Structure 1
Amino acid sequence: MKFFNKTGKLAIGSRLRMLTEKITEDAANIYKLYDIELQPKWFPVFYVLSQGEAKIVTDIAKEIGHSHPSVSKIVSEMAKQGLITEKKDKADGRRNMVTLSPKGKMIAEKIKDQYADVNAAIEQLTAQTENDLWKAIEEWEFLLEQKSLLTRVGEQRKNREGSYVQIIDYIPTHREAFKNLNEQWISQWFKMEEADYKALDNPQGYILDKGGYILVALYNNQPVGVCALIKMNDPVYDYELAKMAVSPTAQGKSIGWLLGNAIIEKARSLGAGKIYLESNTILKPAVNLYHKLGFQKVGGRPSPYERSNIQMELIIKSSPFQKTAE
């Protein structure tokens, strides 16, 4: 097992497959030892039918957790060996009811001694181990049902790539990136409007000189995301979260989430009470992101953008540190 010592848990699939193949090989030989005419892969279907009740393939598949085509194939193989009989359902002629044949029932009676010996052998094996494999399998099955290994690996990838992202303050050399990233996403879904040009052509005068801020996300030292905090002259809102854009080449790295949290922290540090934003409901990932950041939908307000059809607000809560300081 030197290979697995080198790879560690990376080769879990290969190691489980080898263990499964070893147990399956032993199972086939155990059937021969007891002169039982079964194949290991037939056992789940055989066991369900040995309980005495006729069933349709769909119900068998659901009970044993196999696919319908897989069970259909097994039923067909067992029928060829004379272990199963199929009859039309009296209540619904379109369905076939599956039961054990007389030969299958005879095997079901004969196999009881094998069941007892196999169970005793496994109990003995379990007693010799420090870890209960059966309970571990149950735990893994439960956890993977809640969240698949694929999903978990994807989350780890996002976390790793997210750790390569730097969120920094805007400097004049980022002006072109700020404009290009925003023009790219706006043009993909809508059209550039007058309010866009005001902000993108002159971020210094339109945003920064009026008390606003711009943050830039760097990935491998390249600007791939931007977000602005625009000071509002409004009795309700202190700032508007605006001009958030992420390069398509950098999506899936949690850059929007990192930018959003960073800009909210910036607003909190400035003593803001409420942040406002505008978006469009066709941008589902963006709207979902705003919800995750804590924004809630509010009633419509006059907007300088034709594309805006949803307005949202975030009530800023003071951090525990700020409260202690006060």
Structure 2
Amino acid sequence: MNKDFLNELGELALGSRLKRVSERMMADAAAVYQHFDMNIQPKWFTLLALLDRKEQVSVVQAANLLGLTQPALSQFSRQLAAKKLINIRLDSEDSRKRVLSLSALGRQKVTEMRPVWTAVDKAAKDLSHEFENHFYDSLRTFERALKKRSLLERSKDHFEQLDSLKTAHTVDTDMLANNLTFLDFEPDLAPFFEQINSQWIKSMFVLEDVDKQVLGSPKENIIDKGGKIYFAKHSQLGIVGACALLNKGEGAFELTKMGVLENARGLKVGEKLLQHVIAQAQLLPLDCLFLLTNGKCEAAIHLYEKNGFQHDREIMEKYGKSYQRCDVAMRWVGASPK
């Protein structure tokens, strides 16, 4: 089965992903209309529905209500008028304005389409809530956020932040690293836990089922089982790092799912976060603190060794089968962080 490359790109390809979904939905809608012999193009639907709700509306009003450009709205209007489904007339009080309304044939066609629209509405709700999803609500929230600040504005801000950090980084890395605070898990922070870890895992490996389970429901799979999750918050970049302590029972805790966002690499976030988590682990009823990783993670392994972890065959034999990618197991031996 071919992999979906957009999964690797993540939010970077958000626009392309939305376009792909939109094109799929429009194609499916066209298939629905064809199946029921409606002879209607999906792109006309919103304008027909608007005119069904309102007795008449100007081109400008319709464009604003539907979030379309006036040229696009005018094009749809001409197409529907050519099908004799709507009437276009000049406003009696302002000849510069064109007013749209359904024709008699248009009202008949809308009446015929209403049962189909009801079926499509229910099908769309099924899609939006399948797999315990709330896609439509999330989409409306996303649109509000986009209206509040555009992708361009946000991109410029992040670019400027990164540029300033790179400049400052050459001057004083330690100062930047000290701009960190550490937060305990809160439900509102769960998306950061998934985002941070998905980014680094997908950059080097493949998300395994156990990854998806833990990252998708960290409260149920870590917190509710007696574990802990910690976040590193940078004063300029926000939440940039995450790490968990997974309760394995009998006094054993696995240090797991530790990652740092790419835009914060080189600021010693990983080391500071690791030291914080080790300190917090010592406050737990702890007999054994261990971690599982892969030999490809050379920088991380060096960091673990520097902060008191040693390679351990017994840990590998007991816990190493948890992940297919695991070929390194380490136990914390109690050394103070250097």
Q: Could you state the TM-score of these two structures normalised by the residue count of structure 1?
A: 0.49
| Higher gyration radius (CA) | 1
Q: Could you state the TM-score of these two structures normalised by the residue count of structure 2?
A: 0.47
